[in-house]
């Protein structure tokens, strides 16, 4: 059992819901990334999702797209992200999940990427543009290396396909709360409860909900429905707004993460 499964099992045993915090590797600089990841982990993030910058991120909205461009301009590469992950792993025990697209993996070499990711201390992979029908080869490599290949499902995914995806899932199932791309939203769709209930009927693993969740009130609203909540764009926007002051930024991120985590403790064991 890797760190990801252990973390999610421990949260469930305590009746607590998990917080998954997304940050873009290399934003605002490679040197800042370990500091920021350590800050959010120590503030209460149970899992850190580390984005690998890519020039054509089809699932990402403008906030994360801009972060990816900042990271690329700062010289961030796939090899550099793997090196950062190894540095982060020396400092913090929380699970690390890479979020990337298939093109960078293909260019780096899938076997080499999976081996290097595992060696760096990663625990899982999210590849949003890799459909379940084409994921078998990468999933086999990931399984052999002890990495969880985490799939995504959307509100438009039919029940039959949810079942197919759930049967191949590793780690957890990432539920996308809305159609479209990542980004900060004022309100979440009213169909979230029905959608997560549909996924739950097929799931044998924990389910997490992300996309558009940007404040503690959102977290409190969805906590009873899922096992973990993903917050990304709100954190990444804070990085962009405070990029020139990394130490102050780390404190601000930590304070925000503490506020996001609080409803997940308070809602422990709540049922939809």
Within 13 Å, how many C-alpha atoms sit on residue 244's CB side?
A: 0
CATH 3.20.20.70 assigned to 3-264: yes
Give catalytic status of residue 140 as yes or no: no
* Lookup: tokens for 212: 């558009």
pLDDT (tens, 9 = 90+) of the chain, 272 residues, equals: 689 999 999 999 999 999 999 999 999 999 999 999 999 999 999 999 999 999 876 767 788 989 999 999 999 999 999 999 999 999 999 999 999 999 999 999 999 999 999 999 999 999 999 999 999 999 999 999 999 999 999 999 999 999 999 999 999 999 998 654 444 445 566 789 999 999 999 999 999 999 889 899 999 999 999 999 999 999 999 999 988 887 799 999 999 999 999 999 865 434 43
Nearest alpha carbon to residue 123 among 33, 4, 217: 4
Say which of 46, 60, 116, 267 is annotated catalytic.
60
β-sheet bridge partners, residue 150: 126
Say which of 38, 49, 227, 267 is annotated catalytic.
49
DSSP calls for 81-102:
HHHHHHHHHHH--S-EEEE--H
Distance between CA atoms of 155 and 104, rounded to whole angstroms? 27
Question: Where are the alpha helices (H) located in 92-191, listed in sequence order?
Answer: 102-108, 110-120, 136-145, 159-168
Give catalytic status of residue 133 as yes or no: no
Per-domain residue ranges for the chain? 3-264
């Amino acid at each position: 059992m890797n760190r990801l499964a252990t973390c999610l099992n421990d949260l469930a045993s305590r009746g607590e819901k998990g917080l998954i915090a997304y940050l873009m590797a290399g934003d605002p600089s490679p040197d800042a990334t370990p500091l920021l990841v350590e800050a959010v982990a120590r503030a209460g993030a149970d899992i850190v999702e580390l984005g690998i910058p890519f020039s054509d991120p089809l699932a990402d909205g403008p906030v994360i797209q801009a972060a990816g461009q900042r990271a690329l301009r700062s010289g961030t590469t796939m090899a550099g992200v793997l090196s950062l992950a190894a540095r982060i792993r020396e400092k913090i025990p929380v699970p690390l999940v890479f979020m990337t697209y298939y093109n960078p993996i293909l260019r780096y070499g899938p076997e080499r990427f999976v081996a290097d990711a595992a060696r760096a201390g990663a625990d899982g992979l999210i590849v949003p543009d890799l459909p379940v029908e084409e994921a078998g080869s990468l999933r086999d490599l990931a399984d052999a290396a002890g990495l969880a290949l985490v799939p995504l499902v959307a509100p438009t995914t039919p029940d039959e396909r949810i079942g197919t995806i759930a049967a191949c899932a590793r780690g957890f199932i990432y539920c996308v709360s809305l159609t479209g791309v990542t980004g900060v939203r004022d309100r979440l769709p009213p169909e979230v409860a029905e959608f997560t209930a549909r996924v739950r009927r097929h799931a044998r693993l924990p389910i997490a909900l992300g996309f558009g969740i940007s404040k503690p009130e959102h977290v409190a609203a969805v906590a009873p429905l899922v096992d973990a909540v993903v917050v990304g764009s709100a954190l990444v926007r804070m990085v962009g707004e405070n990029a020139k002051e990394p130490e102050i930024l780390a404190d601000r991120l930590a304070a925000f993460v503490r506020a996001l985590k609080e409803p997940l403790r308070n809602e422990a064991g709540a049922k939809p």
